[in-house]
Amino acid sequence: MLKKIALVLLFALPISLMAQEVKLGHVNSQEILSAMPERATIEKTINDLQTQWENELVKMREEYYAKIKEFQDKQATMPESIKTARQSEIAEIEQRITTFNQTAGADIQKKQQELFTPVVEKVKKAINEVGTENNYLYIFDLGTQSIIYQSPKSNDVTALVKKKLGLK
């Protein structure tokens, strides 16, 4: 009788293990981020910052075009040394505008990163909590095409693949 019970358990155990559900899920983090209430405030802040930079750039371009017009109007009567000085001045303004554009872009990008990071972390935390609470093995992010949640129960097979390839 004991042998029969052991035999039944021996056959039933693998079947019950196979019957365990492996839960996979997916989210679209971009959709979630666009629905966050903080997004509107962040976008307004970024737009205001862009407007400030653009207004300053307009002033610099006006100065640049005024210098070019003045140079073109008077270059025929200018001595060569003054002409060279004005050309250098115009080239310097061009360089300032280029540097200003690069600085503005970097500043806006930095501000965007600074403002969105807490929101992204909040979304990631919520996804991790959902994954843990609902026993998901993996949750894939359709927005970034990556795995956004990985259960501690998941198996890392890197060592097995390395062994198969003969790597150390």
Domain annotation covers residue 48: yes
State how far the Cα of 165 lies from the Cα of 126, in Å rounded to an integer. 38
Domain annotation covers residue 16: no
Domain annotation covers residue 121: yes
What pLDDT does 20 receive? 61
State how far the Cα of 57 lies from the Cα of 75, in Å rounded to an integer. 26
Q: Block means of pLDDT (10 residues each) for the chain, length 168 residues?
A: 45 50 88 92 96 96 94 90 93 95 96 96 93 91 88 85 88
What pLDDT does 152 receive? 86
The residue range of the domain holding 63 is: 21-165
Long-range pairs for 1-7 at CB < 8 Å and ≥24 separation?
none
What pLDDT does 49 receive? 96
53: CB partners within 8 A, 6+ apart: 104, 107, 108
Q: What is the pLDDT of residues 53-76, one digit of tens each?
A: 999 999 999 999 999 999 999 888
Domain annotation covers residue 142: yes
Domain annotation covers residue 7: no
What pLDDT does 16 receive? 46
Domain annotation covers residue 93: yes
What pLDDT does 59 receive? 96
128: CB partners within 8 A, 6+ apart: 149
Domain annotation covers residue 14: no
Domain annotation covers residue 39: yes
What pLDDT does 10 receive? 47
Total count of domains within the chain: 1
Distance of alpha carbon 1 from its chain centroid, rounded?
Answer: 64
Nearest Cα to Cα of residue 52 among 109, 104, 102, 110: 104
